[in-house]
């Protein structure tokens, strides 16, 4: 299905702010997802040149430190020095049922910015897994939209009818931030069929991101 992004320059700043507000109305956990401190213990990373390979233990320690960042969204510049290896560590945290749920969702959000070509595919797997908690799938929805941009459109559209209201709401807002006539069309078509008030509000908010 063809999809064309909007070309209004002012939209870029608006969409950036939209990413930061994305998770708040989705679910209660989303309010804490990427803001404020977590109960993780801080660990000091060994200082090494960005180009030098880091010991596995050091990478994990740095990941745990970054997951405590007060930034509303993970920043690519912070994760770039860890290289491709960060993906496997983040997936280990995100996929482990014994990992605290908040830490799992933070790890998923960070996958959106790691420098590994497999990250997009691994986010899709998390999203489509029926054993993954809804809050983690909702985080994967947002992370996939942030990482893949318009390429994620065909993957996110079916999520508007997902069994989880958290995932449906996140998909609606993510599609809205992408903008364009196709996003408006799928959101408007879904709205009459959505019975959950919170998700209807998310769809309407998604539509508000899209200029007429």
Confidence band for 130, pLDDT divided at 50, 70 and 90: confident
What CATH number is given to the structural domain containing 56?
1.25.10
Instruction: Return the SS3 of 113.
Output: coil
pLDDT at 73: 85
Structural domain count of the chain: 1
pLDDT in tens, 131-189: 899 999 999 999 999 999 999 999 999 999 999 999 999 999 999 999 999 999 999 99
Q: Is 3 contained in some domain?
A: no
Q: Is 74 contained in some domain?
A: yes
> Tokens in use for 201?
């509000």
- Give percent above pLDDT 90 in the chain: 66
Lowest-pLDDT range of 2-11, 57-66, 124-133, 143-152:
2-11
C-alpha distances in angstroms, 106 versus 68, 134, 150, 190? 9, 14, 23, 29
Q: Is 167 contained in some domain?
A: yes
DSSP H or E segment with residue 21: helix 11-21
Query: Which domain range does residue 100 map to?
Result: 11-209
pLDDT in tens, 27-50: 444 433 333 333 333 333 344 455
C-alpha distances in angstroms, 191 versus 91, 149, 155, 207? 34, 23, 19, 10
Q: Is 177 contained in some domain?
A: yes
Is-above-0.75 flag for pTM? no
- Residue 178 CA to residue 152 CA, distance in Å, equals 10
Q: Is 59 contained in some domain?
A: yes
């Amino acid at each position: 299905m063809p999809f064309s992004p909007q070309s209004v320059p002012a939209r870029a700043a608006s969409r950036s702010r939209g990413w930061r507000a994305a998770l708040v109305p989705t679910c209660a956990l989303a309010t804490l997802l990427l803001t404020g401190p977590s109960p993780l213990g801080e660990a000091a990373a060994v200082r090494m040149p960005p180009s030098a390979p880091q010991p596995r233990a050091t990478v994990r320690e740095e990941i745990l430190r970054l997951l405590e960042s007060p930034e509303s969204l993970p920043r690519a510049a912070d994760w770039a020095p860890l290289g491709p290896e960060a993906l496997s560590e983040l997936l280990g945290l995100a996929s482990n049922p014994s990992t605290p749920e908040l830490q799992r969702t933070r790890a998923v959000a960070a996958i959106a910015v790691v420098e590994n070509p497999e990250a997009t595919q691994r986010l899709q797997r998390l999203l489509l897994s029926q054993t993954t908690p809804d809050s983690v799938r909702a985080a994967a929805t947002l992370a996939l939209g942030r990482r893949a941009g318009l390429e994620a459109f065909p993957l996110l559209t079916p999520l508007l009818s997902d069994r989880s209201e958290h995932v449906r709401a996140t998909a609606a807002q993510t599609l809205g931030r992408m903008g364009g006539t196709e996003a408006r069309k799928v959101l408007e078509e879904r709205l009459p069929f959505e019975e959950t008030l919170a998700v209807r509000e998310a769809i309407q908010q998604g539509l508000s991101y899209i200029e007429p």
